[in-house]
Amino acid sequence: MGDAVELEVAGRTVRLSSPDKVFFPERGFTKLDVARYYAAVAPGILRALRNRPTTLERYPDGVGGEWFYQKRAPKGMPDWIPTAHITFPSGRSADEMCPTEEAAAVWAAQYGTLTFHPWPVRAGDVDHPDELRVDLDPQPGTDYADAVRAAHELRAVLDEFGGLRGWPKTSGGRGLHVFVPIEPRWTFTQVRRAAIAVGREMARRMPEHVTIKWWKEERGRRIFLDYNQTARDRTIASAYSLRPRPQAPVSAPLRWEEVGTAQPADFDLATMPARFAELGDVHADMDDHAYSLDALLELARRDEHDHGLGDLPYPPEYPKMPGEPKRVQPSRARPEPTA
């Protein structure tokens, strides 16, 4: 696999063993290519990860091998990478990697990390998210163009309810993510409630194109706005993360004028460093903003009061939540007994 090499990243020396190990066979990209990629976009991915508890999606033998999510900080992590203590819905807890320096992503690449999954919180307050994350997930029969159409309507909804601004990025697949920086004043439950309100408003405006139905059998050929991505311990791949697909795609930050013109295939391990060198981090100003969820939470209140639209199902591994409807897919639900 070749002799170990050392990379210099923002004043840190990171040792990389087996640099010639192939991680993306279809493209021939190696472990060293992955590490150099993260060094090239280091300021951007640090902006996305800074002070955030981060789960690592690791592929020690490349995309064709075994892989796993690492939530607890790896043993032997250097002391210049701090941790943050987080609690899972089960009540268990862990200390997660919490990057504060550019070299952290390169260090994680040494251990086969391809994708970084940061929590929407900062280390100083792990119970109050500072981002509302909207995941536009194409369902069978839909594609990226459908996600683009939904994203533009989402932009209008966000602006209408509180003057919110979102920062869009490709998922690295067929979908789009839109992140909204918010004041860290609300709990995970409240932020999820705001996401549900966004989804319901989107579904009202685009009933043939957007759905918030949790059960796949009810979604049809529509874009699913995955409100449960805002639940505690659910994360979305960070900006600049590589995705474990044959072509080594990247979750690419976009400017709004690029949504619909740029394509997901435009951004990968080979092309993103040149884009970053030319444009820098196009989401660099996200941290300069923090919006209020008051208008969306008022929309959620009206939905419940005026239309009886309360909570929606949580993922199956979550404990039953107060006010949650039955967590049974409609085709398997038993009919209500008659009087």
Does pLDDT of 2 surpass 90? no
Does pLDDT of 339 surpass 60? no
pLDDT for res 336: 58
pLDDT for res 179: 98
First-residue to last-residue Cα distance in the chain? 72
pLDDT tens digits for 78-137?
999 999 999 999 999 999 999 999 999 999 999 999 999 999 999 999 999 999 999 999
Mean pLDDT value across residues 224-229 = 98
Contact 196, 275 (CB under 8 A): no
Characterize the bridge pairing of strands 54-58 and 12-16: unpaired
Q: Which of 244, 332, 241 is nearest to 48 (CA)?
A: 241
> Letter for the amino acid at 261?
T
| Local confidence band at 335 (pLDDT 50, 70, 90 cut-offs) | low
Tell me the pLDDT of the chain averaged across its residues: 96
pLDDT cut 90: percent of the chain above it: 93
Q: How many CB atoms lie within 10 A of CB 102?
A: 22
Does pLDDT of 164 surpass 90? yes
